[in-house]
Amino acid sequence: MIGKNLTFGKSEEKLLREKDRSMTRNKIIAGNWKMNMTPSEAVTLLETLKPLLHNDEVEVVFGVPAIDIIPVVEACKGTNIKIAAENMYFEEKGAYTGEISPGMLVDAGVRYVILGHSERRTYFHETDEDINKKVLKAFEHGLIPIMCCGESLKQRKQGITMDWIRQQVKVGLQNVTADQAKIAVIAYEPIWAIGTGIAATNVQAEEICKEIRECIAEMYDTNTAQKIHILYGGSVNADNAAGLFIMEDIDGCLAGGASLKQDFGKIVNYK
C-alpha cells in the first residue's frame, strides 16, 4: 500500500507537476514613481534601469505618471517590462475634466493599474467604494488592478489592523468574480512604512499578507487565494527585498523611492 502511494503513474505525475506549477506564483516587482519624472526624465531613467534588470523569472512593472505612459511604453518595446498607470477613472468617457479612462490606458499599452494607493485615499479622498468601481472597470477592460491597502500607525497601535484591511479588501473586491480575483494583485502597504525608511519586518509583512490570503479564501476559495498575488510595499530597498521575498505569502513588492534609483535593479535581481 505504501509502495503504491509512492509510485505515481505518468498522468498522475503530470497532474502533480501541473498542480505544483499552478501553486507557484511568480514574483511581481513593481515600481511606483508617484509624481516624479517628466517625460524626458522618465525615458532617461528607463534607459538607465533596463540594462540592470537580469531576472527573467519576475514580472517587472513600472507604475508611471499618466503623461509618461506613452514615451515609457515606447522605451520598453522589445522587453518584458509592463507598464502600470497610477490611477484611472471608473467612467468610460465624457465630461470628467482631467480624468483618464481605462480605454485610454489600454490603447496606450498599459497592462496594470495601481488603485487605492494610500496617498490617493488621503489627499484625494478616495473611498473603498470608489476603488471598487475602478477595480471592476479595470477588469472590464482587461487591465490588472494592483489594489493597495494598509493601516495607519494609529490603527496598528489600536489593534485594528486586520479589521481595517479586511474591510478594504472586501469592499474593494465586491462583485469581482473568482476568475478575476485570481489574476488580481493586492499590495499591502502599511502607511507608517511608506516613504519613512522604516519598512515592516519580513515577519510583520508576512503576517498581514497571510491574513489577506486567508480573507480571499473566505471570500472565494483556497484555489483563488493561492493564485492571487499579494505584494508588500513601504520602504522596500535593495537591502530588505530578498528577506521579504522569501516569505511564503509575499509575492513581490511595490517599491516607491527605490524604483527611481539603480537600486531597483538590485531588487529585481534579488537572488
Known catalytic residue: 248? no
Are the beta carbons of 239 and 266 closer than 8 angstroms?
A: no
Known catalytic residue: 117? yes
Q: Which three cell numbers stand for residue 3?
A: 509502495
Judged by beta carbon, residue 135 or residue 225, the one nearer ligand PGA is 135
Residues that bind ligand PGA (CB under 6 A): 32, 189, 194-195, 233-236, 254-258
Judged by beta carbon, residue 185 or residue 225, the one nearer ligand PGA is 185
For 252, phi then psi, to 5°, come to 135, -160
Amino acid (1-letter code) at residue 254: L
Query: Which residue do the cell numbers 469592499 mark?
Result: 171
CB of 234 to ligand PGA, least distance (A): 5
How distant, in Å, are the alpha carbons of 70, 145, 212 from that of 187?
25, 10, 10
Active-site residue, selected from the candidate residues 189, 206, 211, 229:
189
To which H or E segment does residue 252 belong? Answer: strand 252-255
Active-site residue, selected from the candidate residues 59, 86, 117, 229:
117
CB of 256 to ligand PGA, least distance (A): 2
Neighbours of 52 (CB within 10 A): 13
Query: Which residue do the cell numbers 528577506 mark?
Result: 243
Judged by beta carbon, residue 88 or residue 255, the one nearer ligand PGA is 255
Cα(52)–Cα(238) distance, integer angstroms: 13
CB of 57 to ligand PGA, least distance (A): 22
CB of 52 to ligand PGA, least distance (A): 18
Cα(252)–Cα(27) distance, integer angstroms: 5
Strands of 65-184, DSSP E: 82-85, 112-115, 144-149
Measured from each CB, the residue nearest to ligand PGA is: 256
Judged by beta carbon, residue 184 or residue 254, the one nearer ligand PGA is 254
Judged by beta carbon, residue 32 or residue 180, the one nearer ligand PGA is 32
CB of 84 to ligand PGA, least distance (A): 11
Active centre residues (catalytic): 117, 189
